[in-house]
Structure 1
Amino acid sequence: MSSHADGGGAGAERILLVDDDPGVLQALQRVIRLGLRGADGGRCTVDAFASADAALAVAQRVPYALAISDYRMPGRDGVEFLMALRELQPDCARIILSGYSDLNLLLSAINRLEIARFISKPWTDHELLAALDHVLAIRRLTLENRRLADQVRVRSGELSPQEAERRRLELLEPGITEVQWGEDGSFILEDPGEPTP
């Protein structure tokens, strides 16, 4: 099961939800749709998946500001999912949900994965929204600080304007600056609707 919910405006922050319980996914979508606003004041775009593998397939081509994953899922658990997502999108903030009380294992995962928050099930809507808003605000500040630092590096000659622009584009669309070359020296364009080999 996957659902792509409420689309935000251009530049809207995208949130990725992964939980094998459809009821939890619906509850998260409802809370986020009704109560969370992006940096531009509009609604965040929410993509929800019941499978970690399905979410990762989409995350290969769609950038996310925040991922929220259940801890215990069949197949790939939340820790494995967030580790794979971090490889694809290192700037995506990560939150893990759990209804289980194995805190030692979760704390180890939180430290290894640099997870922004652990939220226990059941949650209160107010606390969940406050946590999401806080995590997104920290992410925005981190990215803005990085952008400003790159501007200083360009002015001081430590970074070329082209590299600064490449970094900016990669942040907006991960993978956009990776070019695949053909044997004849041409570059290969992929149709976003076609699966990659």
Structure 2
Amino acid sequence: MYHILVVDDEPGILNAVRRSLNGLTDEAGERVPLSVDCFSDPVAALQSAEVKAYDAVISDYRMPDMTGVEFLLFFRAKQKDAVRIILSGFADMEGMIGAINEAQIFRFVAKPWHEGELRHALLQGLETRRLLMENRRLADLVRAQQAKVSHHEALLARLEAESPGITQVRWGPNGEVLLDD
């Protein structure tokens, strides 16, 4: 199940986003299980992020208590791997550049949004996050395997230093092990 956080100071927008995400399906037509938490207060949303992990956050750009960029910066400090999407009805180019550069938003969606655009942005973001997490898991696995190999190589080097030739096997032409006389 994916956990999504939605923050907007307008309750009508929160309800509309929740409706837009209801029944979300992937490209194969499979239902994407979502849990959507909506907050009209960005401070309360940040408090929720203290105790609950979110896969994605969708935030309004203009809110009375803090901007969407400020909110996403605070949120990113708490949950850096969550996908960040910003909604805005205003074409504030400087603010959008700040959101992209500072809060590292994944996508900007203009209000009023087309339902398919919001759904597609979220699906792309969740897939990008899934790939990032899988790459991180595989990199950790490779590092763990390298540590095992390094330990094994160190052990072989120590044995070879103690008894030269112990780690070498000489094979005969018929597959037999040849021993020194």
Alignment TM class, shorter chain as reference: 0.7 to 0.9
The offset of 1:63, in angstroms, is 0.1
**Partner-residue secondary structure (3-state), 1:114:** coil
Residues 154-190 of structure 1: per-residue CA shift (max 9 Å, x gap): 01118xxxxxxxxxxxxxxxxxxxxxxxxxxxxxxxx
Q: Distance in 2 between matches of 1:36 and 1:20?
A: 27
The offset of 1:127, in angstroms, is 1.2
- Identity, in percent, stands at 46
Contact map agreement 2:69 2:98 (CA 8 A) in 1: no
Largest Rg, 1 or 2: 2
**Partner-residue secondary structure (3-state), 2:21:** helix
* Alignment-derived partner of residue 57 in structure 2: 67
Residues 115-169 of structure 1: per-residue CA shift (max 9 Å, x gap): 10011000100111111111111110010010001000001118xxxxxxxxxxx
Unaligned ranges ≥5, structure 2? 149-181
Structure 1 outlier segments of 4+, above 6 Å: none
Contact map agreement 1:22 1:50 (CA 8 A) in 2: yes
Question: Over the residues paired in the alignment, what is the CA RMSD in angstroms?
Answer: 1.5
* Alignment-derived partner of residue 175 in structure 2: none
Matched, 1:24 2:13: yes
TM alignment of 1:27-176, pairs within 5 A: 27-36=16-25, 41-157=31-147
The offset of 1:41, in angstroms, is 4.4
Q: Distance in 2 between matches of 1:52 and 1:36?
A: 28
Question: In structure 1, what residue type is equivalent to 2:23?
Answer: L
Where is the helix percentage greater, Structure 1 or Structure 2?
2
Q: Distance in 2 between matches of 1:149 and 1:114?
A: 23
**Partner-residue secondary structure (3-state), 1:34:** coil
The offset of 1:42, in angstroms, is 4.1
TM alignment of 1:186-197, pairs within 5 A: none
The offset of 1:108, in angstroms, is 2.1
**TM-score where L is the length of structure 1:** 0.70
Contact map agreement 2:85 2:105 (CA 8 A) in 1: yes
Question: In structure 2, what residue type is equivalent to 1:51?
Answer: D
Question: In structure 1, what residue type is equivalent to 2:101?
Answer: N
| Aligned pairs, number | 145
**TM-score where L is the length of structure 2:** 0.76
Contact map agreement 2:49 2:75 (CA 8 A) in 1: yes
Contact map agreement 2:83 2:126 (CA 8 A) in 1: yes
Contact map agreement 2:24 2:31 (CA 8 A) in 1: no
Q: For residues 29 and 36 of structure 1, do their structure 2 counterparts lie closer, same or farther at Cα, with a shift above 3 Å needed?
A: farther
Unaligned ranges ≥5, structure 1? 1-11, 159-197
